[in-house]
A and B are shown apart, each in its own frame.
Chain A
Amino acid sequence: MTTIEASPAAAPARKRSAPKPMEETIEFYGNVPNENEGKHFRYCPGCGLGIAQSAIMRAFERLELDPKEIVTVGGSGCYAVMGSYYQASQAHMGHGRAAAMGTAIKLCRPDLTVVTLQGDGDALAIGAQHFVHAARRNIDITVIVFNNFVYGETGGQHGPTTPRETITQTSPYGMVENDFDVVDIALGSGAGYAARTTVYHAQHMVRAIEGAIQHKGFSVVEILQNCHELWGKRNGMPTAPDMLKWYKDNSITAARAAKLEPEDILGKFIIGTWTGPERPELGEEWRKLVDRVQGGEVEAAKRGSGKPPALA
């Protein structure tokens, strides 16, 4: 797994208030299923989604966001239920369409914090077009990609991030396709902020999500997540601790990777935060345009009245 040459960013500025006990965070942000009422977490035991969920909750808490001002937008996958475990409003529709829906929500309600919860397949297979175009538009939403290398909900088929030669239910002889790099695609499509983290690096995950939400513009956090049940078991890592150890042993920070030779970082997960060039944010640009049109400063162009573009 490699990442295109982009400068690793400094750790995002964050509030230094004393962290609240997790119980308080849960009370305010969480809608924790209650066994007594016949509801329980729908994740497999040891699933990395639990760590990711609490990291998202902690990031909300650190940023002191009101649940009423948060909308999570989900797609299809094991993580799809996550939105209902928060007190925030949730939109959950077609598989892969979260970035499209999130774009519209943010355009209509710029005051809301819009976070999409998507899987690797959701964001980069069935929903790849919405992902890259939301990045190109630089709409101020945060896309969280739970990357477990596999289609978990349907029982472990390969997806767009499945590493070559690994075994899945639909690559029984080993995966022959190449995989996507989530951070590369995000930055290449125009995202101003992209981060990669793993379920082993839980504190880093909180900071990465916090930075993404704070970033004005399109931001992506790729969470490398363990699916030991459907991917690990087929690839020599049958338990959650096996996979956490794998992430621990094979991750290096972007700052450290920058000092190493390319061959030394081959096959490693480079975790960290990258920033792209600053680009105008769609919502702000649209609202400025509306103001100019309504103020009579600009009229719809007549045919042939445009100018050649200033090329960057």
Chain B
Amino acid sequence: MDLNILERLKLPSEGIRVADRRLLQGNESICEGAIAAGVRFYAGYPITPCTEIAEQMSIRQAAVGGVYLQMEDEVGSIHAVMGASLTGTKSMTATAGPGISLMQDGIGWAQTDEIPALIVNVQRAGPGLGNATRSGQMDIMQARWGPNGDREAIVLSPSTVEESFWLTLKAVNLSERFQTGVITVPEGLVGLMREVVDIPDYDTVPIETRLMPDDEGAADPSRIYDGTMTEIRPFAAVGTEHRSINGNWMRPETDATHGVRMPLTGLSAQDYNIRRLHHKITKRRDEVTFVEEVYTDDAEVLLIAFGTQARTARFAVDQLREKGVKAGLLRLITLFPFPEEIVQRAAANANLVIVPEMNMGQIRGEVTRVLRQHPAEIVGVNHVDSTYIEPDEIMELVPVAARHLEGAAV
């Protein structure tokens, strides 16, 4: 078991027992991570390249006593996931390409009405139908800004099959802790490749469950919308002692008019709630920010990458270091909320920042935004033909390495 993965994801590793070592496909690994986290409801509509998640879930959910429900479309899938979550059941869906576009409606509801849910987007290349069997990194800004309205979103990106297991588990934990729809964006390449994974005993992994009204420390429901409550509310499941309206905890029937204002009635409640939806995440940035840093302490050439393309970038960094270039890699595991301070710190000594990604520069835009007062040159390596970025393409951008490459070619 790679303890570095757990450390990076801020998962406590003590007590975790390894039960098995298996060659797993990325999509299978995502399934198992979710089941280990306690997901007992899966609804989805099969779509390449995440079909194996549906197939595997149809086997596994019956075995663990959960529910597998193949819906008529993605809009139904995400709403079924929220319906299940309203009963307190941890639930998820997986999709890709046009499927994630169809789900935006429901993702917006999950994030706005604070319904814990995991949404996995195994990215194919887009736009439109795109290229179903090829990988892409084109749904990054959509993951943050897809649904209408304004709310904060948690978006995570794994780069290996083993990391997919723990990252999925962590995503479920975060969806429960923050009561929101958490999105993970493994690429098709991660979903379809096979790597060795140490499978833990699921009874020993660290899992989290949402705060409920009867839990210690749960606030009085009358404080939910009066502005005095902490940003994370107690979640009222349907079919309990507490009346639930979309997971909001309403007073029992003794108070016929409730005294609690319904969510989003009146402009001040709207203002309060939208700010709360942001602050409940941004004020706990440390809890949701995960990165991997390689030689960033003294990096004069900083690579910022994510997903599978960070693996290529890592290779390039090692090659550059061999040639005496002070190169470093900042791998973003959390894409949103964008790790602004970490990017600024890692780029402190950099005079060149390279952002390789399989899109036209979606993360480069974020990097440019947070380094707007930094003198470093920021360049991208952008593939949109579904081919993977080669280390040489990155190294060509570094003057010393480029001279070396030219020499080698001669």
Contact = CB atoms under 8 A, between A and B. Distances in A.
Given A68-B241, A290-B62, A294-B63, A101 B73 contact: no
B257 interface: yes
Contacts of A103: 69, 80, 83
B76 A100 contact: yes
Interface stretch (B118-126, B130-138, B211-219, B243-251): B243-251
Contacts of B243: 67-68, 87-89
Interface in B60-90: 62-63, 65, 67, 69, 71-73, 75-77, 79-84, 86-87, 89
B293 interface: no
A6 interface: no
B245 A32 contact: no
B67 A87 contact: no
Contacts of A294: 62-63, 65
Interface in A126-163: 129-130, 133
Contacts of A104: 41, 43, 67, 69, 79-84, 87, 91
A92 B248 CA distance: 11
A68 B89 CA distance: 18
A293 B66 CA distance: 11
Contact of A39 (B113, B253, B257): B257
A172 to B, nearest CB: 30
A107 B245 contact: no
Contacts of A92: 245-246
Interface string B77-117: 10111111011010100000000000001100100010000
B408 interface: no
B205 interface: no
Interface residues of B, number: 42
B240 interface: yes
B253 A71 contact: no
A53 interface: no
A79 to B, nearest CB: 15
B262 interface: yes
B239 interface: yes
B59 A300 contact: yes
B53 to A, nearest CB: 15
B244 to A, nearest CB: 4
A44 interface: no
B86 A91 contact: yes
A31 B62 CA distance: 40
A94 interface: yes
Interface string A277-297: 000000000100110011000
Interface string B255-287: 011100010000000000000000000000000
A32 B258 CA distance: 11
A221 B96 CA distance: 37
A112 interface: yes
Interface in A73-110: 73, 83-84, 87-94, 97, 100-105, 107-109
A84 B79 contact: no
Given A87-B253, A89-B244, A92-B246, A133 B72 contact: yes
Contacts of B73: 129
Interface in A30-54: 30-34, 37, 39
Interface string B22-51: 000000000000000000010100000000
Given A89-B239, A93-B82, A107 B246 contact: no
Contacts of A87: 243, 253
Given A104-B41, A300-B59, A89 B238 contact: yes
Contacts of A73: 83
A28 interface: yes
A312 B246 CA distance: 41
Interface in A117-132: 129-130
Contact of B246 (A27, A39, A93, A133): A93
A108 B62 contact: no
Nearest to B65: A290
B83 A102 contact: yes
Contact of A111 (B43, B72, B239): B239
Interface in A5-39: 27-28, 30-34, 37, 39
Nearest to B84: A104
Given A92-B246, A112-B239, A101 B257 contact: no
A84 B239 contact: no
Contacts of B59: 300
B76 A97 contact: yes
Nearest to B244: A89
A108 B89 contact: yes
Contacts of A34: 256-257
A59 to B, nearest CB: 18
Contact of B69 (A88, A94, A107): A107
A110 to B, nearest CB: 10
Contact of A109 (B80, B238, B253, B256): B238
A108 B42 CA distance: 11
A69 interface: yes
A28 to B, nearest CB: 7
A109 B87 contact: yes
Contacts of A31: 253, 256-258
B90 to A, nearest CB: 10
Given A33-B257, A67-B253, A90 B244 contact: yes
Contact of B240 (A68, A83, A290): A68
Contacts of B75: 94, 97, 100
Given A91-B86, A97-B106, A105-B84, A129 B67 contact: no
Closest CB pairs A-B (n = 3): A104-B83, A101-B83, A97-B79
20 contacts: A27-B256, A28-B253, A68-B239, A84-B262, A89-B236, A89-B239, A89-B244, A91-B83, A93-B82, A93-B106, A93-B246, A100-B77, A103-B69, A105-B84, A105-B238, A107-B67, A107-B69, A108-B41, A129-B72, A289-B62
Given A93-B109, A103-B80, 16 more contacts: A68-B243, A91-B83, A91-B246, A93-B106, A100-B79, A104-B67, A104-B91, A107-B69, A108-B89, A109-B87, A112-B239, A129-B72, A129-B73, A290-B62, A290-B65, A294-B62
Interface of A: 27-28, 30-34, 37, 39, 67-69, 71, 73, 83-84, 87-94, 97, 100-105, 107-109, 111-112, 129-130, 133, 286, 289-290, 293-294, 300
